[in-house]
Amino acid sequence: MAEPGTGESGGDAAAAGQGTPALGVLVSGRGSNLRAILDAIERRELAARVGIVISSRTGVPALDIAAAHDIPTRVIAPRDYPSRAEEGAAIVAALRGAGVELVVLAGYARIFDPSVVRAYPHHILNIHPSLLPAFAGGMAPKPQADALAAGVKLSGCTVHFVTDEVDAGPIVAQAVVPVLDDDTVERLAERILAAEHRLLPEAIRRVLEGHPRVEGRRVLFDQG
């Protein structure tokens, strides 16, 4: 990987992490996917560090998880910026300041200004709780509720590169879970979430180590 941000040549930020790629994780709420990333790092399944956690909301559990791991946090809330472009510029500045190489949206409830996507082309991952392109758009639990209502027998989650079109970027990895006859939205969402917690750290590892290349809508890996 490397390139966007200051990454491997990121001076102080890189030195602080002894050359380990820095992730910037964006959150808005519960933070269970952030926790899954941190757990995978602690288990040494993922050779990365979280350089910064940026939240669009104050007082959310994800910020407490970051603080408990001594990870620098920033709240960049839409109401504090006169425009989406200025909010985006603040996000890019915070990510670059932390030497972030790969950005991960883990329950981030905002749509970026296009300038953020341009600053990190194919270096922003999002996790969505459906098998895209089915049930795109909307925050959890809408995609899970839509899948249940549609009567599909399989659902799951998708990690994809972020582009300007919501939930439509090239797909990096997917995991499938069954939809059971006695499922409620909550039960299905819980089963999908457990799959997310396995998929997201693994997808990050593949992107960092596998030299992904994007051909049209496809993401192809040389290795990893």
Closer CB to ligand GRF, 97 or 169, in the complex:
169
* Residues tagged active-site: 128
Closer CB to ligand GRF, 6 or 126, in the complex:
126
Q: Can you tell me the distance from the alpha carbon of 37 to that of 23, in angstroms, rounded to the nearest whole number? A: 10
Closer CB to ligand GRF, 122 or 191, in the complex:
191
Site string for ligand GRF, 114-133 (x = CB under 6 A): -------------xxx----
For 89, residues 6+ apart whose C-beta sits below 8 A from its C-beta are 113, 115
- Which among 122, 95, 126 is positioned nearest to 28, based on CA atoms? 126
Which residue, judged by CB position, is nearest to ligand GRF in the bound state? Answer: 107
Residue 14 one-letter amino acid: A
From residue 15, how far is each of 11, 20, 201 by CA, in Å?
6, 9, 23
Neighbours of 206 (CB within 10 A): 18
Subset of 142-161 contacting ligand GRF (CB under 6 A) = 157
Q: Does 30 bind ligand GRF (CB under 6 A)?
A: yes
Q: Does 201 bind ligand GRF (CB under 6 A)?
A: no
Site string for ligand GRF, 72-111 (x = CB under 6 A): ----------------------------------xx----
Q: Does 202 bind ligand GRF (CB under 6 A)?
A: no
Both tokens of 12, joined, read 């102080």
